[in-house]
Amino acid sequence: MIAARPRRRLLLLRRRQAAARLLGVLWLACVAAEGVAGGEPPLKCDELRLGQYPESDPKIDNSTQEPLNCTNHTANVPCRPAPNITCKDHSGNENNFTGKEVGFYKPIACRNVNGYSYKVAVALSLFLGWLGADRFYLGYPALGLLKFCTVGFCGIGSLIDFILISMQIVGPSDGSSYIIDYYGARLTRLSITNETFRKTQMYP
């Protein structure tokens, strides 16, 4: 009887150790499951970095020389993530892309045009500017009539208008932009607005 008690105690100790190990394994499994379920959500395709999707040129409308479906100075260009990239597409579905599917649409800036060609305006100003044809074409009939009556302000007004139109300072009267080749000589005016500011110069 005396020798049987230590054996029972030894068996009970081993059983407790086995139960403790089993509980430890179960706890680790639960922690791992929570880590998988509560991990970071899948990345949205429009949050990909530049190297994770190739840049694609927009489709250009031949009549306007602007990207297709340009509304409110914005056009959406389809972007295709690189192969083996997993992210949520524009519909909210998580996909593993092969490089051929559209993942998201990237907004790009475009211009509002209304049928006024830059080449035509420059040609009219160069050859018929002394008759005011350039001003009539751009929608300034009063100035066009004045140039016609004064023979382009004796040639001085014609020269000034040619420079202003060539530099795209004078544009159509309705506020639209010239139709210029999409990869042509376009000028961008720089200005300071609420979205831009000047940094103070730090002098040594």
The answer to whether residue 14 scores a pLDDT higher than 90 is no
Would you place residue 101 in the very low, low, confident or very high pLDDT band (cuts 50, 70, 90)?
Answer: confident
The whole-number average pLDDT for the span 14-25 is 68
Would you place residue 23 in the very low, low, confident or very high pLDDT band (cuts 50, 70, 90)?
Answer: low
pTM (two decimals): 0.65
The answer to whether residue 127 scores a pLDDT higher than 60 is yes
CB 56 within 8 A of CB 44: no
| Torsion-angle region of 46 (φ positive above 0: left; ψ -120 to 50: alpha; else: beta) | alpha
pLDDT tens readout for residues 76-100: 888 888 888 888 887 788 888 888 8
Q: How far is CA 87 from the centre of its chain?
A: 18
Count of other CB atoms within 10 angstroms of residue 65: 19
- The per-residue b/e assignment along 107-125, b for 16 or more CB within 10 angstroms, e otherwise, is eeebbebeebebeebbebb
pLDDT score recorded for residue 46: 84
Max mean pLDDT among 9-13, 27-31, 146-150, 194-198 falls in 146-150
